[in-house]
Amino acid sequence: MLDIKFLRENPEIVKQNIRNKFQDDKLGLVDEVIALDRENRDIKQEVEALRANRNKLSKEIGALMKQGKKDEANQVKAQVAADADRVNELSEREKEVEERILKIMMTIPNIIDPSVPIGKDDSENVEVQRYGEPVVPEFEVPYHTEIMEKLNGIDLDSARKVAGNGFYYLMGDIARLHSAVISYARDFMIDRGFTYCIPPYMIRSNVVTGVMSFAEMDAMMYKIEGEDLYLIGTSEHSMIGKFIDTINQEADLPYTLTSYSPCFRKEKGAHGIEEKGVYRIHQFEKQEMIVVCKPEESPMWFEKLWQNTVDLFRSLDIPVRTLECCSGDLADLKVKSIDVEAWSPRQKKYFEVGSCSNLGDAQARRLKIRVVGEDGRKYFAHTLNNTVVAPPRMLIAFLENNMNADGTINIPEALRPYMGGKAVIG
């Protein structure tokens, strides 16, 4: 969420940012919120004047009563009552105006970084760099669920009967591999100085609206019926929520945390959930990383975060590339975002396995995450997040890139301690 003072002073910058994100239907909101903000300030000024006048008139009433001027005192009392009615009227309007201002400000997109490429959608994202040599083996690589089924590692039919499409049973060595990857990712991030955390898997509505846009919320979140609780779509939500309404000492920053959680997503508008595959599903597990830092340090942390994911995938012999998200592909709260994509030998192309985002002070402003500097000045922190690893999507890349011609799967050395020393699954 933008600072309304910034919007008031820079309406054309805000409008151009909206155009750059191809959301021209929101252009009129800028003028509307400026007019509402002006009305709100006028209301506050009038209310303040009326209340000051009430205090003055109250003293006059006392003086007139002492002087025995009862009729004059009653006239002043009538004026005080009229002013009180006007204050009540203005206060009701003030509430309406502030609610509308907040709704608009929650809708207007954050100012994107100047380095973000301008484009309408993900088809115009820009490749930044490749890491590792993508290989297409001479043998045919089966579809990922076929690989898992041959290893007795997945049961989609039973899951479909129990929960419907978008769910799975992982079995045997594939289930163990899933847990091994999560454990390895946890220790990988701990070794890089991040504090491990297991957060709540449900969050209240004020946290949901603090960490994501309304469009994302509608497309992703499952609501717990009868309670003010939502299932998290990623642990970033509850991890950033951990700092809601806090005042933090500058000397304690940055907070660098890595969190494990299951994740639950409706995947609304995702063109259907695959019946056979596990690329896009309703339930999965993920290791996440988040940073809360000083504004001037967020670009540096952004570079570090996506590099962590690249390094982890390369340690498991998986070629990856980084992709800069264009303006039209950025969620409204994001300043800048880079996707990490893994190589698929079967498809002979890369596919997304993680996303790194710098949200500037947007989440902090919504959640009131403030910092006190050495000079006593208070300001909003910057927040960032990135996927460390999210199986089973990551398992697709792992199985395809570590598969042998006989259908067995090599276990990279880094992962073997988490697999009981196994070097091969077969």
Collapsing DSSP to helix, strand or coil, 30 comes out as: helix
List Cβ neighbours of 39 (8 Å cut-off, separation of 6 or more): 97
Structural contact between residues 180 and 206, judged by C-beta atoms closer than 8 angstroms: no
CATH superfamily of 122-425: Bira Bifunctional Protein; Domain 2 (3.30.930.10)
Q: How many CB atoms lie within 10 A of CB 162?
A: 10
Q: In what order do the strands lie in the sheet with 202-203?
A: 202-203, 230-231, 222-223
Preceding peptide of 254 cis, ω within 30°: yes
For residue range 161-177, what is the model confidence (pLDDT) as tens digits?
Answer: 999 988 999 999 999 99
Could you identify the residue written with the tokens 């129990």?
162
Every domain of the chain and the residues it spans? 4-105, 122-425
Question: At residue 192, what is the residue type?
Answer: R
For residues 193 and 195, what is the distance between their CA atoms, to the nearest angstrom?
A: 7
Tens-level pLDDT at each residue, the chain (426 residues): 899 999 999 999 999 999 999 999 999 999 999 999 999 999 999 998 988 888 788 777 777 777 878 788 888 788 888 888 899 999 999 999 999 999 999 999 999 999 999 999 999 999 999 999 999 999 999 999 999 999 999 999 999 999 998 899 999 999 999 999 999 999 999 999 999 999 999 999 999 999 987 777 777 899 999 999 999 999 999 999 999 999 999 999 999 999 999 999 987 655 444 446 888 889 999 999 999 999 999 999 999 999 999 999 999 999 999 999 999 999 999 999 999 999 999 999 999 999 999 999 999 999 999 999 999 999 999 999 999 999 888 999 999 999 999 999 999 999 999 999 999 998
Question: Which CATH number applies to 4-105: 3.30.360.10, 3.90.79.10, 3.20.20.70, 1.10.287.40?
Answer: 1.10.287.40
For residue range 73-111, what is the model confidence (pLDDT) as tens digits?
Answer: 888 788 888 888 899 999 999 999 999 999 999 999 999
User: Which tokens sit at 76?
Assistant: 């002043």
Where would I find the H helices in 70-204?
70-105, 144-150, 156-162, 172-191
Name the pTM for this structure: 0.89
378 membership: H or E segment, kind and range:
strand 378-380
Distance from CA of residue 369 to its chain's centroid? 15
Residue 68 — left, alpha, or beta (φ > 0 → left; ψ -120 to 50 → alpha)? left
Task: Output the CA–CA distances (angstroms, integers) from residue 65 to 49, 58, 84, 88, in the order listed.
Answer: 24, 11, 21, 27
For residues 355 and 196, what is the distance between their CA atoms, to the nearest angstrom?
A: 20
For residues 344 and 319, what is the distance between their CA atoms, to the nearest angstrom?
A: 9
Structural contact between residues 414 and 184, judged by C-beta atoms closer than 8 angstroms: yes
417 membership: H or E segment, kind and range:
none
